[in-house]
Amino acid sequence: MTSKRIELIAKPNPAHFVGDGFRVHNFIPSYPGLDMKRMDPFIMLDYNSKYAFPASSSPKGVGVHPHRGFETVTIAYKGKVEHHDSAGGGGVIGEGGVQWMTAASGVLHKEYHEREWSKTGGDFQMVQLWVNLPAQYKMSAPKYQALDHEKIAKVNLPEGAGIVEVIAGEFKGIQGSASTFSPLNMLNTKLEKDGQVEFTIPADHNTAMLVVEGSVRVNDTDIVPTDHLALFENKGENFTVFALQKAVVLILSGEPLNEPIAAHGPFVMNTRAELMEAFRDFNEGKFGYLED
Ligand code: MN
């Protein structure tokens, strides 16, 4: 097997606010070279790098809004997020937890800092991904998977190098905790200083790594600092990650869907007609109801 090399190291774009609760750097689709097709099926990646929110009596966040045609996945690194949707899904995730919401045919949802956490505030750090759905599942029923940290499958690395949390996909024969609609890997990897891990990912998978803490060296050649995203070439299967300091990296890989994308705002479909239909259905109240 040959090694999978880094194609691009993306520095974080300037931060902007989503609602008043998420201060994010967008990597996908706005970073040059990281459009919606390049990391297919990962069509959006917002990264709230570590940011201290002051105490607030009312929770900050994003009010009621719709989605159709994909999944939203939120990974909490610091702080707590609360979610409610019109399909009845909802809950709170804390550090190390993941919310996996399949919007599919359509939901309304809202995303806020958890009420009690808001009262004290503190460091907040999150990743939100949009995972595209294959055409045949875009209009399937919405679904919600709450993955508390304790529920996520974990693999201890040899020699105390660290731990790999298998959110989705597979690592060293251990299956991920989330069910997915297409083959993909989401591996949250915690390394001790000088710890090393090797990943084997199919050559054709679109593959990237976000450095959430510390800094790492990949394949003994490329240094990827905190809050940077490395995009890999679509050839070769193996790469190593070595922690220059205690580090946390999120590995994302997926088999491309290679289907047409028609996207606007909160809707991601395959054709313009389907996109128009999404707006029409939303305006006619067909996404259900959710109290603000
Ligand atoms: Mn949303």
Residue 1: pLDDT band (50, 70, 90) is confident
From the CA of 169, how far away is ligand 1's center (Å)?
23
From the CA of 46, how far away is ligand 1's center (Å)?
11
Query: What does the pLDDT read at residue 292?
Result: 83
From the CA of 240, how far away is ligand 1's center (Å)?
34
From the CA of 191, how far away is ligand 1's center (Å)?
31
Per-residue pLDDT of 175-186, as tens digits, reads 999 999 999 999
From the CA of 72, how far away is ligand 1's center (Å)?
7
Residue 116: pLDDT band (50, 70, 90) is very high
Per-residue pLDDT of 219-248, as tens digits, reads 999 999 999 999 999 999 999 999 999 999
Per-residue pLDDT of 254-266, as tens digits, reads 999 999 999 999 9
Total-model pTM:
0.97
Shortest CA distance to 49 belongs to which of 250, 253, 265, 251? 250
From the CA of 23, how far away is ligand 1's center (Å)?
14
**CB-neighbour burial class of residue 2 (10 A; exposed 0-12, middle 13-18, buried 19+):** exposed
CB count in 10 Å sphere of residue 156 = 11
From the CA of 111, how far away is ligand 1's center (Å)?
7
